[in-house]
Amino acid sequence: MKKSGTAVKNVIFAAAAVSFGVLIVVYSKAVAASVSTALERCLTVIIPSLYIFTALSGFFISSGTYQLLGKIFGTFSRYILKLPEELFGIFFISSAAGYPIGAKLISDLFDRSEISQKDAERLLCVCYSSGPAFVIGTVGHSMFAESISVKAGLALFLSNFTANLLLLALMNIGKPVPEKNSKKTKLDFSADTIVNSVVSGGKSTLIICAVIIFFASLTAVLSVTGIIGKLSPVISAVSGISEPLSETIICAFMEISCITGLDSAALYPAAAALLSFGGLCVLLQIKAITGSRFSLKSFLLARPVCAGFSYISAKLFFFLFDIDITSAASVTVCANNINYSPVLSIFLLIMTILLLSEKSIAKNKNM
């Protein structure tokens, strides 16, 4: 019976893949335009804002720096969150670095046998957030007027951080206070540690960009075939949001960088929820990074919960920060128009590919 179900599932996926391939050919012009836009977004926004955090996060793990960060917040981590202090460093870094960084850090810890599979799966639920560089620098300027964009972007970021923090506290209710880590922190700032972190960061960034480009082609197909166009009136009727903005929300649900098209400041709670969820594209990135190490069931259940928390938290932070979204009209600033040069990103991709190729050749020779 189980084999029969698996066979049916395989046939469905195969048919979907073939159909997708045919539609890409039929609508090649629209797909090419969408992929071109996504590639430009990767070169001008994603890589500049994410790569350095990806490399640094790997360095924090390899060098042991994350343990020092955990010790600074050790009392809060152990008594309030019931989380071992060394793991709080992972939570804090992933919250500031960007969506897939938490999955990468946890995977690195698991590969080094420094965390159990059960703890890794639980921690993965909350080590997931859009970094401040994207939320404040890109989304803030896209949705809000210049006079309030930074403050509003910070409020959105804090709403996501608070949602993860709240879920982490709720998950650990009733747990005993973890023992204080008495081990002396050993730091490794060697050249090998730095180089390996840089290469690993480049590899992770390549994976992220590849998934974004794939989803751009998928979104293009769904758009030109009218599927998104048929869904947007339904969402508009339920939510009261205009159909064009409903279509933007659908696209952002699939690929979060499309949120830059959400130019209505009044929709900031929805933007907070979308940023907390991350979109299907980011979820696929998490799967690509974690591989078969963990089950993602708890993680997938946690994201809608955090999205709800973020929706409420955003209203709270906008009130506390006294952000008046009606005082100035929002100004749309397309992510692609941010003043980044793609040249450095292109060089970065080339160097990363060369380094990965050299490592692969050296590994094969040693074998």
Quick one: 229 exposed, middle or buried, by C-beta within 10 A (0-12, 13-18, 19+)? middle
Q: Which two tokens stand for residue 123?
A: 């921690």
Identify the residue with better confidence: 147 or 355: 147
User: How far from 216 is each of 30, 210, 345, CA to CA, in Å?
Assistant: 10, 10, 19
**Alpha helices in the chain, H assignment, sequence order:** 2-26, 28-41, 47-63, 65-72, 74-79, 85-97, 99-111, 117-124, 132-134, 140-143, 149-171, 191-224, 227-239, 243-254, 268-277, 279-290, 297-320, 342-366
Q: What average pLDDT does the segment 141-163 reach?
A: 91
In the chain, where are the structural domains located? 27-366
Check residue 165 and give its pLDDT.
93
Check residue 182 and give its pLDDT.
67
Quick one: 240 exposed, middle or buried, by C-beta within 10 A (0-12, 13-18, 19+)? exposed
Check residue 340 and give its pLDDT.
45
How much is the mean pLDDT over the chain?
80
Check residue 343 and give its pLDDT.
44
Share of the chain above pLDDT 90, in %: 18
Confidence of residue 153 (pLDDT cuts 50, 70, 90): very high
Write out the H or E segment, with its range, that includes residue 138.
Answer: none
pLDDT at 356 over 60: no
Confidence of residue 329 (pLDDT cuts 50, 70, 90): very low
Q: Which two tokens stand for residue 97?
A: 């670095």
pLDDT in tens, 283-310: 888 888 888 888 899 999 999 999 999 9
Confidence of residue 211 (pLDDT cuts 50, 70, 90): confident
Confidence of residue 316 (pLDDT cuts 50, 70, 90): very high
Share of the chain above pLDDT 70, in %: 86
Are 117 and 129 in contact by the 8 Å Cβ rule? The answer is no
Q: What average pLDDT does the segment 168-195 reach?
A: 80
- Nearest-CA neighbor of 59 among 251, 151, 187, 154? 187
Are 23 and 225 in contact by the 8 Å Cβ rule? The answer is yes
Check residue 314 and give its pLDDT.
96
Q: How far apart are CA 169 and CA 27, in angstroms?
A: 48
pLDDT in tens, 23-70: 888 888 888 888 888 888 788 777 776 777 777 777 877 777 777 777
Check residue 366 and give its pLDDT.
52
Q: What average pLDDT does the segment 106-121 reach?
A: 87
pLDDT in tens, 212-268: 888 888 888 888 888 888 888 888 888 888 888 888 888 888 888 788 888 788 899
Q: How far apart are CA 298 and CA 304, in angstroms?
A: 11
pTM of the model: 0.78
Q: In the Cβ-directed half-sphere of 327, how many Cα atoms lie within 13 Å?
A: 8
- Nearest-CA neighbor of 260 among 135, 124, 94? 135
Confidence of residue 177 (pLDDT cuts 50, 70, 90): confident
Are 294 and 117 in contact by the 8 Å Cβ rule? The answer is yes
- Nearest-CA neighbor of 269 among 328, 320, 310? 310
Check residue 213 and give its pLDDT.
85
Confidence of residue 333 (pLDDT cuts 50, 70, 90): very low
